[in-house]
Structure 1
């Protein structure tokens, strides 16, 4: 970040811009900040004082003296605020609170049916979140925002789900307004795959600016980070690769006229249907995972073939976006290496050599809290933006 400021020569104005330099956690003196920004020391001093008053920056001891009184240092204070984060799946909810770096302070996961409807589900999130906040000293008073991921398409600008197929009763429901009835802070909502992409980048690939996260479970979707920024598209539907028609391949057992989309062919639900057609009891994704983990040959073969079908679509994504990393997550991906092997087999064969020469295709490392971490990061990116920090400093 510091190098970028120097290299571009961009003028730094406002306390919010100075704060962005301090977000790396390193303590600095006002003189160092003046040198980095090119601003007058008096200007830097005024803006650092505003950051200290806001609580976002704290005193961090003294630097080594070069003669005279040692200069004071300041640093980012990640406990200046908390974020309440929720990752809602089809059958579970994980609720957590995080500090302003995105570090999870506490979390809880419970079975929860998303089809129970928005009021029922969100009341659980509000109650669980309130309990977590109350367990930390002053956390409720310092709540900076709420981030929620849901398993369906979301119009991110309004936080309203749009025709979500597995969320009856949620279509166009005003999630932010409902939650703000209990927490008077900004409430941001996105689909679960986007927040998983943010969480996965933070946990496993913080230095990677071009990453695609693919979730293969009951459905299939992708979160796209390009140039360091999550790409949502014009209306928030970017990454919906589950509804892409799979290109025909002579290697596939599918008939040439098969026009089904990827989700209908390669999701956990689709794999279970294929196994049932072979006389194997498999009601859904969970049964597929159990069969694969037990070493069932037909389940392993069907899962690897599903990986190949996912690879057919991903090879186009690789050629178009040239990511550095593709991360596979979701319940089916966690069953073992078989889905991953199928994806690699096709992507490395079908994509252009320049796009794949340094491409990594890996399994998710984020674990159970990747979703809530991503939801927290989504909020942090907004509440710690230069404009938001300037507004907070003005209020202080």
Structure 2
């Protein structure tokens, strides 16, 4: 039984927002089921359901099959009651999407941008592109989810430390969207939103999962007990900047020396490709070569996986996940990359921690970033507290 319906005798009566969550998550589809789960009276349930249907968040579906007497009316979550905007910003690419309240894309756009572009220039372009994506879309914008590499302040809505996004630290991001939508902005680390995307599918039925973003940099999203853990200052999962002996005194783009990224991050692999006489502009090109059979590219990806696995084994011993999901650009070469990861993990992690461990590709592939940003926004705007607040404002 969910926490929502536990200890109802001592808790405050269930709110309309809590009833919507029961319907949205599939735990209830009729008024009688809502009464049974919450202990509310028929009158109280009717009043809350009426409030939700008046706002458009619930609609009355076809009647369910009767088990005797008058068939109960079905309650259906209205995924078209609003939309959320998703913005996944990386070092050289920005992905945008407009999604319904079930996380299904209505329109999307992905474009490369110049490395080192500042927030004023890029965000103006993002807003302009969203104006095009929103043409013909009538439901209101309820929230905006945005991700950046590095450590972010979710309360202030800004980057605290992003080695790959020079000039973005300390810049409030919400004002850029003010003329586009009167909707709250929610920001998250790129690895965290990748983890959130897995809760919308694939590993979503597993409650303890480590989600690796292996791209230009290396990050780790942590799902524990079905929830994404960001840590005290939002810096959980900064696995790429773990100091490792194998990196010795190699300088990292973060300003430190000896970070894992210096020998396993995509940017370091690109540099090593150039040294071998096979220059590429981005790790995505390296991955493409590996998929085409290039032995140098395949070897670098496997080596990167081995180095990551050395550090990942410690996290596996500490957290005992059911699965490790491999996403990001290097995840596109899943077989080559994960071969190296497995090699180190099984050598260094405890046998019990790896006995049932699964290695899985990211469910949403190259769209994982925008799906995760949408999940970030949806988790907030559809929370019982947010729904109740919105209903109160509409009353």
TM-score, with length taken from structure 2: 0.90
Check whether the contact 2:86–2:144 (CA below 8 A) recurs between aligned residues: yes
Deviations 1:257-303 (A, max 9, x none): 99721101111222233344444434542442243233233332222
Q: SS of 1:183's equivalent?
A: coil
Given candidates 319, 334, 337, the residue that maps to 2:335 is: 337
The answer to which of 271-280 and 328-337 deviates more is 271-280
Q: What's the counterpart of residue 322 of structure 2?
A: 324
Q: SS of 2:201's equivalent?
A: helix
Deviations 1:132-167 (A, max 9, x none): 22222x13xx11011111233211221111232121
The answer to which of 197-206 and 321-330 deviates more is 197-206
Q: What's the counterpart of residue 251 of structure 1?
A: none
Check whether the contact 1:114–1:121 (CA below 8 A) recurs between aligned residues: no
* Change in 2 beyond 3 A, CA 1:273/1:109: closer
Q: What's the counterpart of residue 393 of structure 1?
A: 391
Where do 5+ consecutive residues of structure 2 fail to align?
Answer: 252-256
Asked if 1:113 is matched to 2:107, the reply is: no
Where do 5+ consecutive residues of structure 1 fail to align?
Answer: 249-253
Asked if 1:372 is matched to 2:370, the reply is: yes
Check whether the contact 2:328–2:366 (CA below 8 A) recurs between aligned residues: no
Given candidates 298, 301, 321, the residue that maps to 2:299 is: 301
Q: SS of 1:169's equivalent?
A: coil
Q: What's the counterpart of residue 271 of structure 1?
A: 269
Q: How does 1:218-257 map to 2 (within 5 A)?
A: 218-246=216-244
* Change in 2 beyond 3 A, CA 1:233/1:95: same
Q: SS of 2:236's equivalent?
A: coil
Aligned residues: 386
Check whether the contact 2:264–2:304 (CA below 8 A) recurs between aligned residues: yes
User: 1:335 Cα shift?
Assistant: 2.9
Asked if 1:201 is matched to 2:199, the reply is: yes
Q: How does 1:133-212 map to 2 (within 5 A)?
A: 133-136=134-137, 138-139=138-139, 142-212=140-210
User: 1:255 Cα shift?
Assistant: 7.4
CA RMSD between the two structures = 2.4
Deviations 1:181-207 (A, max 9, x none): 431111111122211111133231221
Q: How does 1:46-57 map to 2 (within 5 A)?
A: 46-57=47-58
TM-score, with length taken from structure 1: 0.90
* Change in 2 beyond 3 A, CA 1:260/1:359: same
Aligned counterparts of 1:66 and 1:312: Cα–Cα separation in 2: 57
* Change in 2 beyond 3 A, CA 1:217/1:70: closer
User: 1:237 Cα shift?
Assistant: 1.1
* Change in 2 beyond 3 A, CA 1:338/1:28: closer
Check whether the contact 2:215–2:328 (CA below 8 A) recurs between aligned residues: yes
User: 1:71 Cα shift?
Assistant: 3.8
Check whether the contact 1:27–1:60 (CA below 8 A) recurs between aligned residues: no
Check whether the contact 2:229–2:236 (CA below 8 A) recurs between aligned residues: yes
Aligned counterparts of 1:237 and 1:6: Cα–Cα separation in 2: 29
* Change in 2 beyond 3 A, CA 1:94/1:17: same
User: 1:16 Cα shift?
Assistant: 1.1
Q: What's the counterpart of residue 39 of structure 2?
A: 38
* Change in 2 beyond 3 A, CA 1:28/1:289: closer
The answer to which of 5-14 and 336-345 deviates more is 5-14
Q: SS of 1:61's equivalent?
A: coil
* Change in 2 beyond 3 A, CA 1:6/1:329: closer
Aligned counterparts of 2:383 and 2:248: Cα–Cα separation in 1: 51
Q: What's the counterpart of residue 345 of structure 2?
A: 347
* Change in 2 beyond 3 A, CA 1:20/1:275: same
